[in-house]
Structure 1
Amino acid sequence: VRSFALCDGNHMPYVREHYLKMCGIVPEDTPRLDPRYKELDAKLELEIAGVNHCTWALKCAFEGKDMMPAIKAYVDRKACQEYDNAPSEKAKPRLNMNYCQQLMDIYGCYPTAVSHTKEYVPFFQGYGVSPNLPEPVIAFDAYNRADEMAAAWKITQAYAKGEKPMQEFFEQGHGDHATDIIEAMWSNAGKKFYINSANRGAVANLPDDAFLELLCKIDMNGPQPLKLESKMPRGLLGLTQQVLDTHELTVEASMSKDRKTLLKAMLTDPIINNIGDARRIMEELLEAEADHLEGWN
């Protein structure tokens, strides 16, 4: 079995079109796959890296000019517009540009999946004396998400069974990230996609075995990450390594079935700030999942 992991947020080529819009190179209402993109895309330099859902645009330049200030101006404008209407009641889209604005102020890079990156950092958890702005993040609404996925799957089944016309799919749908990658692999198209892969030297100041979301060439042999000119900057380097350590310790705990290692994994997570809470969470989950966790005692 061969598999790959990915986030749909950096779906090529649409993600590069989005950056051209954020930079003000094309109007925001420019449709997908507009012919103008082809010429402009060749002038865009974009480097993205990080752990899945905690990825950052480390470099964005157009015709050699740094476009990060233009992206920041875009984010500032969108952050103000989020208050034009009542914010979404769902966790994922809620006030994202306001969180993004603060993360850009801190790190100088654009968080490409801020709807999840806001959950990776300790700043928006509601701890501390000063109030969180715009507000503490709300708990992820997994049940709503499950309902949305079930509804989407029902539509997919309708197309597969011939209950809905495929012409409707071609007119209203757009390329799915996973199927685009599979097609590129089978056809040896030489396309590039953002895929979770072992670093293998792509980001020079992170370990070769760090599992990162990177721009990769893809064929039937799997993804081959492309080397970045940028290094992970200080601040983000520490955050990224902390998340990677959490992952490594979690795997180690799973293999060894060792409670001390599992507790260490939890306490390495950036958003855990209390040893007692971590221990109680661990014990409650181990008890709740006991039927599926052989060998733990």
Structure 2
Amino acid sequence: MMTAPKITFIGAGSTIFVKNILGDVFHREALKSAHVALMDIDETRLEESHIVVRKLMDSAGASGRITCHTHQKAALQDADFVVVAFQIGGYEPCTVTDFEVCKRHGLEQTIADTLGPGGIMRALRTIPHLWRICEDMTEVCPKATMLNYVNPMAMNTWAMYARYPHIKQVGLCHSVQGTAEELARDLNIDPTSLRYRCAGINHMAFYLELERKTADGTYVNLYPELLAAYDAGQAPKPNIHGNERCQNIVRYEMFKKLGYFVTESSEHFAEYTPWFIKPGREDLIARYKVSLDEYPKRCVEQLANWHKELEEYKTAERIDIKPSREYASTIMNALWTGEPSVIYGNVRNEGLIDNLPQGSCVEVACLVDANGIQPTKVGTIPSHLAAMMQTNINVQTLLTEAILTENRDRVYHAAMMDPHTAAVLGIEEIYALVDDLIAAHGDWLPAWLRR
């Protein structure tokens, strides 16, 4: 009989996310006896997650054990899989700081977790702790595989494989499979009928091919149907989560211009480019339905909903959930049993996409089986898509260099190269903004930035 793995969850106070990941795990035969080690620095949130995970395990008929830890290294001891999902500095104070300081300098943001000043500051707060996890893994679970869900995904993943190339890791997001489901919903078709090939960088990957299966078993290009539905006002459908602020116009308009559909949401994409958010251009905000300050609004709503959900989980006799779209359990099952699976992951570009910088972090299809996580070669992507991605990779390159070499100048340079920031602010204004952000974040940032 196959032994069960140990799964360590760093950031286990993120109870809803823990519920989704482990709900999937407990419904896989090879994983349902796993030892789950929950780790968080917040003891209250950790205990809340413990209650939910125990009920999940019992409801699924799983027979594993759960341990709770406030010390990272103890949680990681002999782990087979390490799931990482946390936010250094949280919504308050750090996310609020990123938005308020940028707004004072005349720079509006939507999400601020991937690029721009918000993404840059989040990377500077986050990467040092990801490195500490890599250090501990090297010591107590060197053969484990890290499944990283922490943003800014590309910069975090890049910084880890640059400093700790021996750590087995993959950056995971749900935008590829999630957007495929959204597009199927927009056209009232079954998501399982879709076939696609996608590639690019995190939050800016494109469906190079997007097809649906017909009644006779052949596949046809879905793009003409999608474009016709948009032109006829039949797509996009209202937001699946009931969020009326996010209407997905930006992505459909970019689809019309580029000929390919991007994987991340309109509210994300609007701040990765120079075209949608400009001072005094309320007409653009209105036309493209850009939801400014979307992430802070979402955080406030999620915190309020979370307290309600938690009370329901605490009093429920059992917790039954539908499978999530997250890749984590699929990867664990494939690595543990050898049963092959295909996922989309963020990995080092080593001959995968020819016309993006080698060594940069790219998002491609990966085969997963007993041999590990094996990225697949894409080749050359359309030149206009590569050109757009390069503007984002410029920021990622400079920020990663900044933190690897402890070079404050490169932080300014990263902000200067950000497409949205450069379209709004002058050079001196960008320097002043970075200075104010560093001062406002204080000890949340590495000490070398304040020397």
Please give the TM-score of this superposition, normalised by the length of structure 1. Answer: 0.75
- Aligned in 2, Cα 1:261/1:174: closer, same or farther, shift over 3 Å? closer
SS, match of residue 60 in structure 1: strand
Q: CA deviation at 1:54?
A: 1.4
Larger displacement relative to structure 2 (260-269 or 70-79): 70-79
Deviations 1:165-211 (A, max 9, x none): 14x32xx4545432332233222221001111123323232233221
Counterpart-to-counterpart distance in 2, 1:200 and 1:154:
46
Aligned-partner Cα distance in 2 for 1:284–1:188 = 50
Structure 1 stretches of 5 or more lacking a match?
none
What secondary structure, in the 3-state scheme, does the structure 2 residue paired with 1:56 have? strand
- What does residue 381 of structure 2 align with? 232
What is the match of residue 9 of structure 1?
A: 175
**Scaled by the length of structure 2, what TM-score is found?**
0.52
Shift of 1:221: 5.5
Match of 1:256 among 381, 405, 411: 405
User: Structure 1: which amino acid aligns with 2:251?
Assistant: C
CA deviation string 1:3-51 (max 9, x = no partner): 221111223xx766665666x5xx43x4x7xxxx4xx55xx3x221122
Are 2:380 and 1:244 aligned? no
1:134 maps to 2:288: yes
- For the Cα contact (< 8 Å) 1:245–1:268, is it kept in 2? yes
RMSD over aligned Cα atoms? 3.4
Q: State whether residues 124 and 135 of structure 1, in contact with CA within 8 Å, keep that contact through their aligned partners in structure 2.
A: no
State the distance in 2 between where 1:157 and 1:227 align. Answer: 47
Q: Match of 2:200? A: 50
- The aligned runs of 1:19-38 (5 Å cut-off) are 27-28=188-189, 30=190, 37=192
Any conservation in 1 of the 2:330–2:341 contact (CA below 8 Å)? no
User: Cα 1:278–1:295, aligned 2, differ >3 Å: closer, same or farther?
Assistant: same
Is contact 1:200-1:225 (8 Å) kept?
Answer: no
Shift of 1:80: 7.1
**2 CA distance for matches of 1:108 and 1:155?**
41
Of 183, 196, 209, 2:359 maps to: 209
**Alignment check: 8 A CA contact 1:246 1:269 kept:** yes
Report if aligned partners of 1:119, 1:137 keep a CA contact under 8 Å in 2.
no
Alignment match, 2:263: 112
Local SS of the residue matching 2:275: helix
SS in 2 for 1:48: strand
Q: SS where residue 415 of structure 2 aligns? A: helix
- Check whether the contact 1:199–1:225 (CA below 8 A) recurs between aligned residues: no
Does the alignment pair 1:125 with 2:274? no
1:164/1:243 Cα in 2 relative to 1: closer, same or farther (>3 Å)? farther
Looking at structure 2, the residues matched to 5 and 81 of structure 1 have their Cα atoms a distance apart, in angstroms, of 29
Distance 1:157 1:174, change over 3 A: farther
> CA–CA distance in 1 between the matches of 2:265 and 2:421?
19
Bigger relative contact order (CA 8 A; separation at least 6): 2
Change (3 A) 1:288 1:21: closer
Q: Say if 1:81 and 1:294 are closer, same or farther in 2 by CA, change over 3 A.
A: closer
Encode CA deviations 1:83-120: one digit per residue, 9 max, x unaligned: 9xx9724xxxx121x21221012211101223322221
> What's the CA shift for 1:164?
4.2
* Structure 2: tracts of 5 or more residues without a match: 1-136, 138-144, 147-169, 213-217
Alignment of structure 1 residues 149-228 onto 2, 5 Å: 151=305, 163-166=316-319, 168-169=320-321, 172-174=322-324, 176-219=326-369, 222-228=372-378
Give the secondary structure class of the aligned counterpart of 1:218. strand
Look up the SS of the partner of 1:74 in the other structure: helix
Counterpart residue number, 2:227: 72
Find the aligned partners of 1:223 and 1:277 in 2 and give their Cα distance.
43
Q: Does the residue aligned with 1:124 lie in a helix, a strand or coil? A: coil
2:255 partner SS: helix
Question: What SS does structure 1 have at the residue aligned with 2:404?
Answer: helix
Distance 1:233 1:256 in 2: 33
Helix, strand or coil: the match of 1:141? helix
Q: Percent identity?
A: 22
- Structure 1 residue 266 corresponds to structure 2 residue 415: yes
For residues 111 and 15 of structure 1, the distance between their equivalents in structure 2, rounded to whole angstroms, comes to 8
Which letter maps to 1:113? Answer: E
Task: Single out whichever of 241-250 and 144-153 deviates more from structure 2.
Answer: 144-153
CA separation in 2, counterparts of 1:157 and 1:192?
A: 37
CA gap of 1:102–1:198, structure 2 versus 1, over 3 A, is same
For the residues of structure 2 that align with 1:130 and 1:233, how far apart are their CA atoms?
A: 32
- The structure-2 alpha-carbon separation of the partners of 1:255 and 1:271, relative to structure 1 and needing over 3 Å to count, comes to same
